[in-house]
Structure 1
Amino acid sequence: MIAQQRIEYTGVRELRGPLAVVAGVRGVGWDEFVRIRLSGREIRHGLVLEVDRDLAVVEVLEGTAGMDTEGTRLEFTGEPLHVPVGPGWLGRVCNGRGDPADGGPPVFTSRRTRVAGAPINPVRREPPAEPVLTGLSAIDALTTLVRGQKLPVFSLPGLPHLELATQIAAQANVGGEPFSVVFAGMGLTHTDAAFAQDALAPRSAAGELVLLLNTADDPVIERILTPRLALTIAEALAFDGGRHVLVVMTDMTSYAEALREVSAARGEVPGRRAYPGYLYSDLAAVYERCGRIRGLPGSVTVLPVLTMPGGDITHPVPDLTGYITEGQIVFSREVNAQGIYPPIDPLSSLSRLMRVGAGPNRTRPDHLPVAAQLVAALARARQLRELSELIGTSALSRTDRSYLDFEEAFRRDLVAQRPDESRTLDDTLERAWQVLLHLPAGELTMLPSDLLDRRRADRSAQQEAG
């Protein structure tokens, strides 16, 4: 068999931001991987973004800084970008392109797969089931994360979303089954990247974590590649290796801004707030790669973290993310101002798959009714808090004041948690019971009477023994 001859093209017509426009090409396809040789013999890499007759637009992964149109040569490989996949990634720290950043050798495995990937075929999807426990009471009790789910965190600038993301990545578990975490940081400052690496070092040393860190001064194209690389690694660990994999991606707003920058460099007609018109389909192509596949072991669960510019939940990135995903965890400035971590607003947060991942044979039989009662009581407490600010607490009835006591205990004893504290689900639900028992029995209408009687009897026995 005669080996296919590879041709190097030198017709670089224009360098435009992170893009190189090449003329005179033949037989080049979309998403094709490109090797770029600079005049100083430096090698860079790229992907074909667009082809029009004999013109190809190539996005340069390392950026176009230092490139010139005269001495640059491009070799089109005839195939998409592939990366090695397998357990060799576990315990490694890499940049957003997958190049080692821990001083170790490149990742070598026996199998390679396409980075671009594809969403899971709906016909082959298995419904999400069984929980992923984060060790955080505010999430495990009220917005339970389910294996195969995509559950975003909506934060605001200046709030501790990176701390929450790293804490979840460091302590999440699935109850003893094979479990791994892929953490993809995008647009991080060097300080934040160092913080994430230090916080996740124990899990990385245990061989349970893949860490991909893209910093703010890295090329913008790398930021677009990072979540796709993370998901490609996760899919192999899950569906080939039989692991349950949690992919934590922060910050998806930085990803969307990188997409907007590339779109502007291409001269595309902008959509809402100058984001490209295909932002929805692009985000969906990322988020929909999670799930479970019928007949294959393992699962991929996605927890994307994003900041809402100006605190605007109708901003295109959180707005479109909310359409695609199955719920949301929402941060609150008010809760953060009270010194409570994590600053989650339970009444704005929701896990639409919680009912299939919690309850009998999943977590505990009392989990769902306790969660429902907590939310109902918290909504009532918030109404009474607003009323007390108008008429004064003394004008409220004893029952009404018990709701205010409940709200204070809820935040102090259940939600508030140290950034290095991991709670078991039993601990979380026991705390929830103690909080609910601040209310009169007649107000606990969402709890089965036999369950409530047994709890009150246990509490009385403990008080007598004490």
Structure 2
Amino acid sequence: MPQDARPVGRIEAAQGPVIDVRCTYLPPLGQALDVVNGSNRYVLVVHQHLAPTLVRAIALHAVAGLYRGMPVFDRGAPLHVPVDPGCLGRMLNVFGEALDGGAPLADSDFRNVLAAPPALADTLPPIRILETGIKVIDLLCPFVRGGKTGLFGGAGVGKTVLMMEFMHAVSAEMHGVSVFAGVGERMREGHEMWHEMQDAGVLQRSLLVYGQMDESPGVRFYVGYTALTYAEYLRDTLASEVLFLMDNIFRFIQAGSEISGLLGRMPATVGYQPTLPSEVASLQERIVSTRSGSITAVQAVYVPADDMSDPAVATVLGHLDSTVILSRQQAAKGIYPAVDPLRSGSRIMDHHLLGMRHYHAARTVREHLARYLELEDIIAMLGIEELSPEDRRIVGRARRLQRYLTQPFAVVADHTGIAGARVPLAQTIADCEAIIDGRYDQLAETDCYMRGAMPS
């Protein structure tokens, strides 16, 4: 802020993070304002015009130390962050400031956190697969390059490990970069991910942006936009594959609901904010491919009370190209990654886009696993000997497929003692066809478990 800056107004009221400012002129909605109290600086974002000389703003810092009558200064711009190629390998906050103890980013170039998506004429349709090397995902619920994937899973089913493996695949195999948005994360989770990514060797091709759980709802709301701004910058400047991960988008929606209540808006369905669809869309519609590169998003989604019809979940689902459901039942059986193969899917599962061979293999694998699920109760009560010979063959092959679709991950190799394996999609399809055709009927089921490709 310049030394000779003149205040735009003064604080008239402060109620928690809601600050009313009496102004000499009206700053536009979304404008960033500064309040200085000694060595402390507070950033406010204008959200409402209450009168010709009165605005209501949300504070992005803890408000201890603010009082009525304090001068408020206009930044002259919306909330923006410094962008620089040196951001890779760093941990930043919602303002682009270092959280890792390193040097601040160069402030020669800035980008606004809230920005319009690229023009429709400049975007490319998401119709290609992004191969991750993870067998069950590439086969049954493939990622769409430049698309959006929802990762539905509770605690302890391997969600974070799966995200780290995605980041490893993009950085090591595709020479791309990853941007991770920790929305409302616990400090413990941030520390763990930071150290695990260092140990796995993927940190130098990644950027972490955190808004912690104990921070203002404004921080938790804007941190997703900050991370997406860095993802757009890396896509446009590096012209490479960018993987954008958000954990958890439900906390972004919760922060928006808190802000809506603080501003006095009447709640809508099930108590959510009336602006829920537009807020989610303003984030999702910026995740697109352009001629410079593509942003592929993986978003963890919390499902309140396991109700997939919850308005927040339904709103997010409307934007997704692929859904990956992580099942606690799969994890309890030792099936990792714990992807539910029958409930997960992708809109790109079409023979025109995948080719007949991939489409047929995926459909046949699902048929075998669905038939095995139907017969599980009979097997538990009467034994497998009571099944017909055809059903016994299907069950044996389905169990081998179930174990084949497990996979050791490179990012946890130090913990498991098993070297990570990446399997190309063509090899996965060939192996599944061989199992379905009965070429591995004599192979023990344990020999299919936690391995890469099948022996030729």
Alignment equivalent of 1:250, drawn from 247, 250, 275:
247
CA gap of 1:216–1:123, structure 2 versus 1, over 3 A, is: same
Q: Please tell me whether residue 345 in structure 1 is matched to residue 340 in structure 2.
A: yes
Using the alignment, how far apart are the partners of 2:86 and 2:293 within structure 1? 17
Unaligned runs of 5+ residues in structure 2 are 414-419, 442-453
Alignment equivalent of 2:151, drawn from 150, 153, 157:
153
Tell me the equivalent position of 2:182. 185
CA gap of 1:367–1:356, structure 2 versus 1, over 3 A, is: closer
Alignment equivalent of 2:299, drawn from 290, 299, 304:
304
2:27 maps to amino acid: V
> How much has 1:206 moved relative to structure 2?
6.3
> Which deviates the most, 276-285 or 108-117?
108-117
Equivalent pairs, count: 433
Identity of aligned residues (%): 25
> Which deviates the most, 424-433 or 258-267?
424-433
Tell me the equivalent position of 2:68. 69
CA gap of 1:312–1:386, structure 2 versus 1, over 3 A, is: same
Confirm or deny: 8 A CA contact 1:180 1:245 kept in the other structure: yes
Using the alignment, how far apart are the partners of 1:96 and 1:204 within structure 2? 25
Using the alignment, how far apart are the partners of 1:217 and 1:239 within structure 2? 33
Q: Secondary structure at the match of 2:225?
A: helix
Tell me the equivalent position of 1:223. 220
Q: Secondary structure at the match of 2:375?
A: helix
Using the alignment, how far apart are the partners of 1:367 and 1:155 within structure 2? 26
Unaligned runs of 5+ residues in structure 1 are 442-458
Using the alignment, how far apart are the partners of 2:400 and 2:65 within structure 1? 59
Confirm or deny: 8 A CA contact 2:152 2:326 kept in the other structure: yes
Alignment equivalent of 2:134, drawn from 113, 133, 136:
136
> How much has 1:116 moved relative to structure 2?
0.4
CA gap of 1:86–1:370, structure 2 versus 1, over 3 A, is: farther
Tell me the equivalent position of 2:169. 171
> How much has 1:250 moved relative to structure 2?
0.5
Tell me the equivalent position of 1:333. 328
CA gap of 1:203–1:439, structure 2 versus 1, over 3 A, is: closer
Tell me the equivalent position of 2:258. 261
Q: Secondary structure at the match of 1:165?
A: helix
Confirm or deny: 8 A CA contact 1:184 1:248 kept in the other structure: yes
Q: TM-score, normalised by structure 1?
A: 0.84
Q: Secondary structure at the match of 2:207?
A: strand
CA deviation string 1:287-309 (max 9, x = no partner): 1111212xx22111111111112
1:436 maps to amino acid: I
Coordinate RMSD, CA, aligned: 2.9
Confirm or deny: 8 A CA contact 1:62 1:219 kept in the other structure: yes
Alignment equivalent of 1:198, drawn from 195, 216, 224:
195
Q: Please tell me whether residue 414 in structure 1 is matched to residue 411 in structure 2.
A: no
Using the alignment, how far apart are the partners of 1:226 and 1:91 within structure 2? 18
Tell me the equivalent position of 1:290. 287
Q: Please tell me whether residue 81 in structure 1 is matched to residue 79 in structure 2.
A: yes
Using the alignment, how far apart are the partners of 1:212 and 1:356 within structure 2? 38
CA gap of 1:298–1:218, structure 2 versus 1, over 3 A, is: same
Tell me the equivalent position of 1:17. 16
Tell me the equivalent position of 2:238. 241
CA deviation string 1:225-282 (max 9, x = no partner): 1111111111121123211111000011111111111111111111223210111211
Tell me the equivalent position of 1:367. 358
Using the alignment, how far apart are the partners of 1:358 and 1:133 within structure 2? 14
Q: Secondary structure at the match of 2:149?
A: coil
Confirm or deny: 8 A CA contact 2:26 2:54 kept in the other structure: no
Q: Please tell me whether residue 381 in structure 1 is matched to residue 372 in structure 2.
A: yes
Alignment equivalent of 2:308, drawn from 300, 306, 313:
313
Q: Please tell me whether residue 402 in structure 1 is matched to residue 400 in structure 2.
A: no
> How much has 1:393 moved relative to structure 2?
3.1
> How much has 1:109 moved relative to structure 2?
5.5
